[in-house]
Structure 1
Amino acid sequence: MLPASSEPGISSPVLFVRRAGERALLVELAGPAGAAALHSRLQADPLPGQTGLVPAACTVLVRLATPAHARQAAGLLAELELRAADRAGQAGLVELDTVYDGEDLAEVARLTGLGSADAVAEAHSAAVWTAAFCGFAPGFAYLTGGDPRLDVPRRAEPRTAVPAGAVALAGAYSAAYPGSSPGGWQLIGRTSAPLWDLEREQPALICPGATVRFRPVREQLALRQRPAAALHTAAAPISVERTIPGEHTVAGNPGPPPAAVVLDPGPQSTIQDLGRPGYSHVGVGRSGAADRSALVRANRMVGNPAGAAGLEVLFGGLRLRAERDLVVAATGASTPLALQAADRPERPAPFDAPFLLRADEVLSLGPPAAGLRTYLAVRGGLAGEPVLGSQSTDTLAGLGPEPLTAGRGLGVGPEPGTAVGLPEPAPPLPGTEAGAGTETDVQLRYIPGPREDWFDAAGLDGFASRTWTAAQDSNRVGIRFSGEPLTGRRSGELESEAVLPGAVQIPPSGLPILFLADAPVTGGYPVIGVVVQADLDLAAQLRPGTSVRFTPVLPPEELRD
């Protein structure tokens, strides 16, 4: 953590530059105005190797291309001067027609002492709000700069569903919900503005830096927002139990005939590529394959580009029928592969090697001997409609195709015109037996921070010295761990700030949560460390019940670029 000094005439100084893994820095500023100033400054004048920015309440996460770029940027940021001119909003003015008839309007009038719904509406609509950052859901903008009298607490009990278009307050923030989702904010009104629309070049109506005015209207508004049932869908917990349905045929499949048909998706099978980077600033994470190296390896074996879309299969169980000859490779969790045709006896297929799946043959994936997620690549890549440049299924943001179901047809892209690759041995997986027939704890290396200062020495030592167990209620969003809870965590709430895959949050329970591919863009619990990218693929293969040790890596300069 590098302190940054303040100089006379600098209106919003950088307070600290904190490590956030190998290739990111969390820059802490004096307040929301400073965070907005830094975000604007770095948008206009990027640092060497800068690949992304995620503004938040009082911080900006800066993503860099390599660890060397991160080390260089840390020094530059510590000396950066921010002046008032850097605060200027760069995203224009957004006006939202708003009907002030929210369910919590009377309660807000009571909590604020304003006395009436009209007084709340007047105070809310008179302010010029600024979008400080996006998080929680795609297009959900946290607005600051309102009347201080409107600072109200969240509801004691969050609602299970807040309707799309709801206008709400929480603390010093206001927001308009872009889609239906759970939420604990106080609802004061609603707007029909299309806050999130994938058909626009910029899907989010409100981006960081925009100024927002709520314009009160009396008439009833018909919501024009497209249904967004999955904007904040909770991912299903990992389970190895499943029900095997009967075989299905394709019904109502538009377009050209599919190359393969799903007969049984197993516990969960999704389409994944390498994700959709570049949208964190509007509340959309990268997503993509949880074990990125496994998908790249499978694509290489069938001659595809590294980022071609394939299947991510949770704990086997997938059965699909080829409608034409296909070249296929499977890697990741080591599952037995079987090929079955009506006129031929069942035969095994090789793992970690390309093979021919003939027309009318059924490929079945059994339960893996080790690991959790298997990746299936088909020569040509899976063909589908990309969402924000990616076919990946984001289970948290609700973007991309739905998880596979029985009867689903799968299209395949054109012949890549490259040679089929060679078999590739995979790295060891969690659950692989050690030499003496016993299993050892999985070691995950991490870089301490950015919020290690929220823990005393006992808490920091406890995190690194204890054995943790991957819990059953884990998914693509993250892994929860059980064990002896950490003590020595500072009390209180942390202002929302950016998180990234690999971050390990410690909530008040004292039990760690490791974020994976579908991590949220922002979070409100301190991150004690960030797992290095080389070990994050390994983490994606952890089964419930696996024992894990977190090992600190210092100094970060020892990590390879």
Structure 2
Amino acid sequence: MFTLPETRFDFGGDEYIYAEISRDMSAESNFKALAIVNELRKRNIPGIIEIVPSNASYLVRYNPEIIPARDLLDYLKDIDITKSNPAELNLSVRMVEIPVWYDDPITREYSRRFKSRHQEPDISNFEFAMKVNGFREKEAFIEAHTRMPYLITMVGFLPGTAWGFPLGLHPQEIIQVPKYLSPRTDTPRQAVGVGGAFTVVYPVNGPGSYQLIGISAVPVYDNEKRLVDLEDTYFLARPGDIWKYRSVDEREYSRIVEEVKQGTYRYRMKYIEFSPQEYVTKGKVYIRELMEGF
């Protein structure tokens, strides 16, 4: 039977316990981190102040005057044992569509502005991502990036930034791109970037070092709460979400942007029960089954 990695625990001063499931990123390690974090929140253990999941780890902040460190560690180890079998880790998550205008003029302009910080200053970020992944045709690269969905493994950095790790692909199929040699001092809001194997949508203007391959037509952060789907939160992303990128042309991009401005846009999404066990055993086939009709 396949089991997930054993977790390593470390104390961070008097108020933190850091739990490292794996040093190598994998969807399976993130499933375990999400399941443990969800269970911790359900138990509502007195003394726990904050729980933060990451790619293949999680951090717990606690009040040592309410719960001794060793008692909390015993709780964590007990939960860890119960969450090491993928068959026990079913997750209720959302699948969310993100419409993207690939190789758009906005991110091409940012490629030009910050070319002095780039490995290959004479080509755009999009062309660089194509080149390092062996693509000669723009359409083939876009098809590869939109073919399978991305698991939101963590949220952080700029407000609402969500890291998406591709699901259902063999390592050689995953688009991977090195980051800028030196970070940009500015990135356009809603730009789509790739760094390593991760894809992000920049929620606001700010610094960044991921290669820019397109721009999202929809916000992932809405401080004005204009949209129905974001009326209870500022942020679109939740750890455990599954995002599916869809290529749109300039005309559709402009139409969606206008709907967002008017406050009438509704995100295309559906709620699913995700089985890490089926993912482990069936891989790409299971992901395609989940995507049917979406």
Fold agreement, TM-score > 0.5: yes
Q: 89, 97, 104: which is aligned to 2:99? A: 97
Supply the AA of the counterpart residue of 1:167. Answer: V
SS of the residue 1:115 aligns to: coil
User: Is contact 1:36-1:55 (8 Å) kept?
Assistant: no
Equivalent position of 1:56 in the other structure: 54
Residues 139 and 117 of structure 1: CA distance in aligned 2, closer, same or farther (over 3 Å)? same
Supply the AA of the counterpart residue of 1:136. Answer: F
Q: 18, 30, 34: which is aligned to 2:10? A: 18
Deviation at 1:97, TM superposition (A): 0.7
Q: 193, 203, 212: which is aligned to 1:168? A: 193
Larger CA deviation: 158-167 vs 31-40 = 31-40
Equivalent position of 1:34 in the other structure: 29
Q: Report matched runs for 1:340-379 at 5 Å.
A: none
Deviation at 1:69, TM superposition (A): 4.3
User: Is contact 1:109-1:117 (8 Å) kept?
Assistant: yes
Q: Tell whether 2:72 aligns with 1:73.
A: yes
Counting aligned pairs with the same residue, the percent is 24
Supply the AA of the counterpart residue of 1:120. Answer: F
Residues 161 and 34 of structure 1: CA distance in aligned 2, closer, same or farther (over 3 Å)? same
Supply the AA of the counterpart residue of 1:46. Answer: R
Provide the C-alpha distance between the structure 2 equivalents of 1:181 and 1:131, rounded to a whole number of angstroms: 21
* TM-score, with length taken from structure 1: 0.37
Q: Tell whether 2:143 aligns with 1:122.
A: yes
* 1:454-492, Cα deviation, whole Å (9 max, x unpaired): xxxxxxxxxxxxxxxxxxxxxxxxxxxxxxxxxxxxxxx
Residues 174 and 122 of structure 1: CA distance in aligned 2, closer, same or farther (over 3 Å)? same
Provide the C-alpha distance between the structure 1 equivalents of 2:212 and 2:88, rounded to a whole number of angstroms: 33
Q: 205, 217, 222: which is aligned to 2:248? A: 217
User: Is contact 2:101-2:217 (8 Å) kept?
Assistant: no
Equivalent position of 1:46 in the other structure: 43
SS of the residue 2:185 aligns to: strand
Equivalent position of 2:86 in the other structure: 84
Deviation at 1:47, TM superposition (A): 6.0
Provide the C-alpha distance between the structure 2 equivalents of 1:216 and 1:87, rounded to a whole number of angstroms: 32
Residues 85 and 70 of structure 1: CA distance in aligned 2, closer, same or farther (over 3 Å)? farther
Q: Tell whether 2:219 aligns with 1:194.
A: yes
SS of the residue 1:27 aligns to: strand
Deviation at 1:43, TM superposition (A): 1.5
User: Is contact 1:34-1:87 (8 Å) kept?
Assistant: no
Q: Report matched runs for 1:171-186 at 5 Å.
A: 171-186=196-211
Q: Tell whether 2:166 aligns with 1:145.
A: yes
Provide the C-alpha distance between the structure 1 equivalents of 2:75 and 2:194, rounded to a whole number of angstroms: 37
Provide the C-alpha distance between the structure 2 equivalents of 1:86 and 1:194, rounded to a whole number of angstroms: 34
Deviation at 1:187, TM superposition (A): 0.7
* TM-score, with length taken from structure 2: 0.67
* 1:52-97, Cα deviation, whole Å (9 max, x unpaired): 2211122101222335343212123234222214554434111101
SS of the residue 1:26 aligns to: strand
User: Is contact 2:182-2:209 (8 Å) kept?
Assistant: yes
User: Is contact 1:178-1:195 (8 Å) kept?
Assistant: yes
Provide the C-alpha distance between the structure 2 equivalents of 1:38 and 1:183, rounded to a whole number of angstroms: 26
Q: Report how many aligned residue pairs link the two structures.
A: 218
SS of the residue 2:20 aligns to: strand
* 1:280-302, Cα deviation, whole Å (9 max, x unpaired): xxxxxxxxxxxxxxxxxxxxxxx
Provide the C-alpha distance between the structure 1 equivalents of 2:88 and 2:183, rounded to a whole number of angstroms: 37
SS of the residue 1:215 aligns to: strand
Deviation at 1:19, TM superposition (A): 0.7
Residues 115 and 86 of structure 1: CA distance in aligned 2, closer, same or farther (over 3 Å)? farther
User: Is contact 1:92-1:210 (8 Å) kept?
Assistant: yes
Provide the C-alpha distance between the structure 2 equivalents of 1:96 and 1:86, rounded to a whole number of angstroms: 30
Residues 73 and 10 of structure 1: CA distance in aligned 2, closer, same or farther (over 3 Å)? farther
Q: Report matched runs for 1:327-476 at 5 Å.
A: none
The alignment's C-alpha RMSD in Å is 2.3
Q: Report matched runs for 1:125-136 at 5 Å.
A: 125-136=146-157
User: Is contact 1:97-1:191 (8 Å) kept?
Assistant: yes
Provide the C-alpha distance between the structure 2 equivalents of 1:142 and 1:164, rounded to a whole number of angstroms: 16
Indicate the structure whose relative CO is greater, using CA pairs within 8 Å and at least 6 residues apart: 2
* 1:159-186, Cα deviation, whole Å (9 max, x unpaired): 2211111111000111111111111101
Provide the C-alpha distance between the structure 1 equivalents of 2:32 and 2:198, rounded to a whole number of angstroms: 18
**Higher-helix-fraction structure:** 2
Contiguous gaps of at least 5 residues in structure 2:
109-124, 226-230, 262-294
Equivalent position of 1:208 in the other structure: 239
Supply the AA of the counterpart residue of 1:218. Answer: D
User: Is contact 1:133-1:142 (8 Å) kept?
Assistant: yes
SS of the residue 2:14 aligns to: coil
Provide the C-alpha distance between the structure 1 equivalents of 2:142 and 2:59, rounded to a whole number of angstroms: 34
* 1:244-269, Cα deviation, whole Å (9 max, x unpaired): xxxxxxxxxxxxxxxxxxxxxxxxxx
* 1:210-235, Cα deviation, whole Å (9 max, x unpaired): 00000111234244678xxxxxxxxx
Provide the C-alpha distance between the structure 2 equivalents of 1:191 and 1:14, rounded to a whole number of angstroms: 38
Supply the AA of the counterpart residue of 1:54. Answer: V
User: Is contact 2:33-2:54 (8 Å) kept?
Assistant: no
Residues 91 and 20 of structure 1: CA distance in aligned 2, closer, same or farther (over 3 Å)? farther
Provide the C-alpha distance between the structure 2 equivalents of 1:24 and 1:72, rounded to a whole number of angstroms: 13
SS of the residue 1:99 aligns to: strand
Contiguous gaps of at least 5 residues in structure 1:
1-8, 227-561
Residues 211 and 88 of structure 1: CA distance in aligned 2, closer, same or farther (over 3 Å)? farther
Displaced runs of 4+ in structure 1, greater than 3 A? 44-47, 85-91, 146-149, 222-226
